[in-house]
Chains A and B, each alone.
Chain A
Amino acid sequence: MSTILEVKNLKKYFRTPKGLLHAVDDISFKAKQGETLGIVGESGCGKSTLGRAIIRLHEPTSGEVIFDGQDITKLSNKEFDKVRPDMQMIFQDPYSSINPRMSVSEIISEPLIIYKRFNNRQGIENEVARLMDTVGLARRFANSYPHELDGGRRQRIGVARALSLNPKFIVCDEPVSALDVSIQAQILNLMQDLQAERNLTYLFITHDLSVVKHISNNILVMYLGNMVEYASSKDIFKTRLHPYTKALLAAVPIPVLGMKKERKLLKGEITSPIEPKPGCRFASRCEYAKEKCSNEQPELIEALEGHFVACHYVKEINNI
């Protein structure tokens, strides 16, 4: 399969009164068409900023985003408008990401009108109806307002809106986190069906590790703006190499009896992402940390085939 998106050394820094906040610091990866790349990490690690920087909702500080063969960070706004229909986003909170004063059909048709996809009302109406069918929203809701609908249905509006311009690539920022599990499963199935049908590529951002395992082909683990581990979903869950990934996966409560394990608790303070010191950002909480870790930033290396880790002592820790 072909690579549709390549991110090279992407950085996004924010200016704050206390100094530069390194929200996304030197991230590189490739995403193949028709696959899902999961971005995992805890709150504040920069995963949403990464998603937004890729589709230029935040202008990247530096780095390249090569989408469909061209570096979109170099495009002018006008040129980028031509690419935007191919890159869409589904937001986390179905309660605040849609305009409460627009009806369902207005919300879904807005992109179609902006991009002048149809030249008559009938065409737009037919397309909205088709999109509503696609995401499983009954047509009787076309004239309803968001407050009349529950969270699951609102998220379906978000999905329909993202699909309306027939994109190739969708950034999904915690699309199911606000939903109950029985509804969450409905939305996840819908997203998988759409992917298979339309050969969509997802960048799936979430803090829920069972969800990301279920939906992703590859997984990128972030910690305070850095990439700490990148591998196929299977590899990460079978052989996690980075100490942070190990602690993260061990902390997930599993709904099976007899699985209870000794909790490995992380101690120590979280390093500030504002003007970070050189060295590994996880060092202050890492049980294996040595002097080198707080002086020198570890490079991302291919520790096993297709399995990338940023840790000085990955070989020693894992006996590889």
Chain B
Amino acid sequence: MEKLLEIKDLVVHYKTSEFTVEAVNNISLSINRGESVGLVGETGAGKTTTALSIMQLIADPPGKIVNGEIYLDGVDLCKLSQRELIKIRGNKVSMIFQDPMTSLNPVITIGEQIAEVIRLHNKVSRSEAQMRAVDMLNLVGISEERFNDYPHQFSGGMKQRVIIAIALACNPELLIADEPTTALDVTIQAQVLDLMENLKKEFNTSLLMITHDLGVVAEICDKAAIMYAGEIVEYGNLEHIFNKTKHPYTKGLFESIPKFDEEVERLKPIVGLMPDPSNLPDGCSFAPRCPNRTEECTKGEIPAIEVEPGHIVKCINFIA
């Protein structure tokens, strides 16, 4: 399969006068055409920063891409000018943000907001853009009578569909979805996931799905990358991640979730807290919380080991 997105050795820091937050530390990740990759991690793991780096939307200052390359279709996005980036955002790459309540403009009708992105990227008349916007509304299951309604007239799930319609209006090759269903109820989440899956099949769009919910990954992704303290600690297909878990952090995550399908008397939480990203420990960032820790873990760079083809784990004492 052809690579669509390739991130190489990405490092992103947020600098303030007092300290430097090492949000993303040397991650590499690639996504093929038509493939869905889940980026999983807890608050502060660097998931959203990674997504914003791809979009080149890191606020500078305080943020800065310190190192690394991000290739989309062979073009390094980090080297493009703002003018060139504007042509790509919303067109070849689109992003769905987490909170559907705040990512729409409250004073513009939703139809106009969808038409706007179509007019920005295509040489079409206003009326043709509106017609295509109506098509997008139908696609996400909203009746066209609501074209002239304002965001506050929609429920959360409906707003998220409008945002998906905007994101897909120009047939992007890559869709980045940052926790698209976290703010929604489960029955509405099921509708939105179903919609995204159908659209993915129809348009062969690649998907980077950012989430903290391993259940969502199991339903919609082909591969998963587990992030911890700015690093991808484990990467592989779903079989690797779910059934042949190697990294102690990934295992800890699974054990922390109350099981839906079996009885567990007591949960096994991961001890301790995530390290402060402005003061990361030497060696492996997970070592202070890790049950498999040895002395080597706290020294130097931890290598990424390919335990079997396509299954990469950043741990020297990974689970056998």
- A-side residues, CB < 8 A to B, are 42-43, 150-152, 180-186, 188-189, 192, 207, 209-211, 213-215, 247-248, 250-257, 259-260, 263, 265-266, 270
Contacts and interface: CB of A to CB of B under 8 A. Distances in A.
A42 to B, nearest CB: 4
Contact of B242 (A150, A255, A263): A255
A254 B256 contact: no
Given A42-B185, A251-B187, A256-B242, 12 more contacts: A180-B274, A181-B256, A184-B269, A185-B256, A185-B257, A185-B258, A210-B257, A247-B187, A254-B215, A256-B261, A257-B218, A257-B243
B185 A255 contact: no
A252 B269 contact: no
Contact of B42 (A180, A189, A209, A266): A180
B264 interface: yes
Interface stretch (B85-93, B127-135, B159-167, B188-196): B188-196
B190 A251 contact: yes
B218 A254 contact: yes
B201 interface: no
A182 B270 contact: yes
Contact of B273 (A152, A248, A260): A152
Q: Which of A43, A256, A265 has the most CB of B within 10 A?
A: A256
Interface string B91-106: 0000000000000000
A306 to B, nearest CB: 19
A257 to B, nearest CB: 5
B189 A251 contact: yes
Contacts of B216: 253
Contacts of B55: none
Nearest to A193: B266
Contacts of A152: 273
Given A182-B42, A255-B217, A256-B218, A42 B256 contact: no
A245 to B, nearest CB: 11
Contacts of B261: 254, 256, 259
B107 to A, nearest CB: 23
A256 B260 CA distance: 10
Size class of the B contact interface (CB-based, 8 Å) = 35 or more
A207 B218 contact: no
B94 to A, nearest CB: 23
A254 B260 contact: yes
Contacts of A248: 186-187
B215 A183 contact: no
Nearest to A150: B273
26 contacts: A42-B185, A42-B186, A181-B212, A184-B269, A185-B256, A185-B257, A185-B267, A210-B257, A210-B259, A248-B187, A251-B186, A253-B190, A253-B193, A253-B213, A253-B215, A253-B218, A254-B215, A255-B257, A256-B261, A257-B238, A257-B239, A260-B219, A265-B191, A265-B194, A266-B190, A270-B155
Interface of B: 42-43, 155-156, 185-191, 193-194, 212-219, 238-239, 242-243, 252-261, 264, 266-270, 273-274
B224 to A, nearest CB: 11
Contact of B218 (A43, A211, A255): A255
A291 B252 CA distance: 50
Contact of B219 (A42, A184, A253, A266): A253
Contacts of A260: 218-219
Nearest to B269: A185
Contacts of B187: 42, 247-248, 251, 265-266
Q: 7 nearest interchain CB pairs?
A: A253-B215, A185-B269, A214-B258, A255-B214, A251-B190, A180-B42, A42-B185
Contacts of B259: 210, 214
Contact of B256 (A184, A213, A270): A184
Q: Which of B190, B216, B264 has the most CB of A within 10 A?
A: B190
A250 B188 CA distance: 12
